[in-house]
């Protein structure tokens, strides 16, 4: 006998019990909605709100209705075990936690160290799976927050847990900062001629669904997953042209030379060596410069170019539908980190 001819059908995964970190963020909220829609039991560990007292938050986001809310400081190495997991059974840890500033100390404290503590707590508690929201830009790391994210990605891969590392392209909020200025009659600002970069924008809900789907789709496990939204890659110039077309106006662009940004980075970098507050500003300028000149698409190392065709797509919602909703006032944009303009 060589064993059974037919493998037993894989068991259908039932609802999972999930600890979600970063649930108050843009993608954290979308992921919470998706996890709940997909029938999972969701426990969120939220940052304690100053003055609210232990275990209470004045205004947890409405999207978290249906999830269990717990409170703890993820910078405290024992918080995830004590305040989040509490010795209970969990199937998976899902993290959309990220530094809100991207400056080096915060990035290393949150994107790296807090995740390290959470992973150790999850492993000690017998949690078998982790889904991590990362970013496509870590493939070409130049910035402190990218190094911090990459360092934790490597630790997760080496941990032995079933992992999914989701590296999305640009979020809608990071590409919507100019909608109101253009609506009010101002030109659309671009770096260079507006064709230096491209991305495949992904909506919050499409990304939330994708992240939640990693729990049960084995094809998304044990992998690093670059992911964009539907449709072709678009440049900043095309974003501006679409906006003007929706408003029925002639396109008007104001070009910001990359050399000017380099000058700002250089001056702030030099001054930041003696004046610490300017060091943080220099890092923010470096982040702006990076997003003004690097595409959010899969990088082909051999060809030394970004490859839109190699960047997978998911979901149905497009940036231009989102622009139309913003112009009608149906939705409001939340200014994102990494919004260059
Ligand atoms: N913007 C883009 O276009 C883009 C593209 C690709 C990837 N990404 C990556 O996606 C990730 C998430 O983005 P997002 O826009 O959803 O982030 P976000 O809205 O800034 O949310 C960050 C989350 O982390 C939590 N957090 C931050 N610092 C904390 C701290 N010190 N203690 C406890 N919790 C803390 C926040 O909690 P509070 O609400 O309590 O602050 C929030 O829940 C980031 O890693 C980013 O690099 C972004």
pLDDT in tens, 226-240: 999 999 999 999 999
Q: Which residue has the higher pLDDT, 49 or 159?
A: 159
Q: pLDDT band for position 45 (50/70/90)?
A: very high
Q: Which atom of ligand 1 is nearest to the CA of 170?
A: 3
- Note whether 94 and 35 are within 8 A (CB): yes
Whole-angstrom distance, CA of residue 52 vs CA of residue 56: 6
Output the CA torsion sign for 80, 83, 89, 94.
negative
Q: pLDDT band for position 2 (50/70/90)?
A: very low
- Note whether 294 and 300 are within 8 A (CB): no
> Which residues pair with residue 300 across a beta bridge?
305
Q: 100: CA distance to ligand 1 center in Å?
A: 5
Q: 62: CA distance to ligand 1 center in Å?
A: 18
- Note whether 168 and 199 are within 8 A (CB): no
Return the percentage of the chain with pLDDT > 70, whole number.
91
Whole-angstrom distance, CA of residue 75 vs CA of residue 323: 37
Average pLDDT over residues 215-225: 98
Q: 112: CA distance to ligand 1 center in Å?
A: 13
Q: Which atom of ligand 1 is nearest to the CA of 109?
A: 31
Cα Rg of the chain (Å, integer): 21
Whole-angstrom distance, CA of residue 152 vs CA of residue 95: 12
Q: Which atom of ligand 1 is nearest to the CA of 23?
A: 43
Whole-angstrom distance, CA of residue 239 vs CA of residue 245: 10
Say which range, 4-8, 96-100, 142-146, 336-340, has the weakest mean pLDDT.
4-8
Phi-psi map region of 222: left, alpha, beta (phi>0 left; psi -120 to 50 alpha): left
Q: pLDDT band for position 95 (50/70/90)?
A: very high
Whole-angstrom distance, CA of residue 125 vs CA of residue 16: 15
**Residue 331 pLDDT more than 70?**
yes
The number of residues making up the chain comes to 341
**Residue 1 pLDDT more than 50?**
no
Whole-angstrom distance, CA of residue 220 vs CA of residue 214: 5
Q: pLDDT band for position 6 (50/70/90)?
A: very low
pLDDT at 50: 53
Q: Estimate the crossing angle of helix 276-293 against helix 258-272, to 10 degrees.
A: 160
Output the CA torsion sign for 14, 135, 24, 103.
positive
The SS3 assignment for 71 reads: strand
pLDDT at 140: 97
**Residue 53 pLDDT more than 90?**
no
Of all protein residues, whose CA lies closest to atom 5 belonging to ligand 1? 170
Whole-angstrom distance, CA of residue 46 vs CA of residue 19: 11
Of all protein residues, whose CA lies closest to atom 11 belonging to ligand 1? 98
pLDDT at 336: 61
Q: pLDDT band for position 270 (50/70/90)?
A: very high
User: How far, in whole angstroms, is CA 251 from its chain's centroid?
Assistant: 30
- Note whether 223 and 213 are within 8 A (CB): no
The SS3 assignment for 50 reads: coil
Q: Residue 87, exposed/middle/buried by CB under 10 A (0-12, 13-18, 19+)?
A: exposed
Whole-angstrom distance, CA of residue 320 vs CA of residue 328: 12
Q: 37: CA distance to ligand 1 center in Å?
A: 22
Q: Which residue among 100, 102, 106, 139 has the greatest number of ligand 1 atoms within 8 angstroms of its CB, and so is best to mutate? A: 100
Q: What is the pLDDT of residues 312-324, one digit of tens each?
A: 999 999 999 999 9
**Residue 340 pLDDT more than 50?**
yes
- Note whether 272 and 281 are within 8 A (CB): yes
> Which residues pair with residue 162 across a beta bridge?
129
Q: Which atom of ligand 1 is nearest to the CA of 100?
A: 20
Of all protein residues, whose CA lies closest to atom 34 belonging to ligand 1? 47
Q: pLDDT band for position 304 (50/70/90)?
A: very high
> Among 135, 290, 120, which Cα is nearest to 282's?
290
> Among 157, 16, 185, which Cα is nearest to 91's?
16
Q: pLDDT band for position 49 (50/70/90)?
A: confident
Q: pLDDT band for position 337 (50/70/90)?
A: low
pLDDT at 332: 87
Q: pLDDT band for position 22 (50/70/90)?
A: very high
Of all protein residues, whose CA lies closest to atom 40 belonging to ligand 1? 47
**Residue 249 pLDDT more than 70?**
yes
Whole-angstrom distance, CA of residue 95 vs CA of residue 110: 11
Q: 215: CA distance to ligand 1 center in Å?
A: 20
Rounded mean pLDDT of the chain? 92
**Residue 52 pLDDT more than 50?**
no
């Amino acid at each position: 006998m060589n064993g059974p001819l037919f493998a037993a059908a894989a068991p259908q995964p039932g609802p999972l019990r999930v600890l979600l970190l970063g649930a108050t963020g843009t993608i954290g909220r979308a992921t919470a909605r998706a996890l709940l829609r997909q029938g999972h039991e969701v426990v969120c560990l939220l940052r304690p709100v100053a003055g609210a007292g232990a275990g209470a938050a004045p205004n947890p986001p409405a999207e978290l209705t249906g999830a269990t809310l717990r409170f703890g400081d993820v910078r405290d190495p024992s918080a995830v075990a004590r305040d989040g997991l509490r010795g209970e059974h969990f199937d998976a840890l899902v993290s959309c936690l990220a530094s809100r500033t991207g400056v080096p100390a915060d990035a290393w404290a949150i994107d790296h160290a807090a995740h390290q503590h959470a992973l150790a707590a999850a492993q000690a508690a017998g949690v078998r799976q982790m889904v991590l929201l990362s970013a496509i830009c870590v493939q070409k790391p130049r910035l402190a927050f990218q190094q911090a994210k990459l360092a934790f990605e490597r630790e997760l891969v080496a941990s032995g847990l079933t992992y999914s590392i989701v590296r999305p392209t640009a979020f809608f909020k990071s590409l919507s900062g100019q909608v109101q200025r253009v609506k009010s009659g101002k030109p659309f600002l671009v770096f260079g001629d507006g064709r230096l970069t491209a991305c495949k924008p992904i909506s919050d809900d499409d990304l939330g669904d994708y992240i939640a789907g990693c729990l049960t789709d084995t094809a998304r496990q044990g992998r690093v997953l670059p992911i964009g939204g539907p449709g072709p890659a678009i440049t900043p110039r095309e974003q501006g042209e679409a906006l003007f077309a929706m408003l029925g106006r002639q396109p008007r662009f104001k070009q910001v030379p990359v050399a000017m940004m380099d000058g700002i980075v250089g001056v702030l970098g030099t001054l930041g060596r003696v004046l610490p507050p300017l060091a943080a500003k220099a890092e923010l300028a470096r982040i702006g410069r990076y997003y003004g000149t690097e595409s959010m698409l899969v990088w082909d190392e051999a060809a030394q170019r970004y490859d839109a065709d190699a960047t997978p797509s998911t979901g149905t919602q497009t940036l231009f539908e989102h622009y139309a909703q913003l112009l009608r006032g149906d939705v409001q944009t939340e200014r994102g980190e990494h919004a260059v303009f």
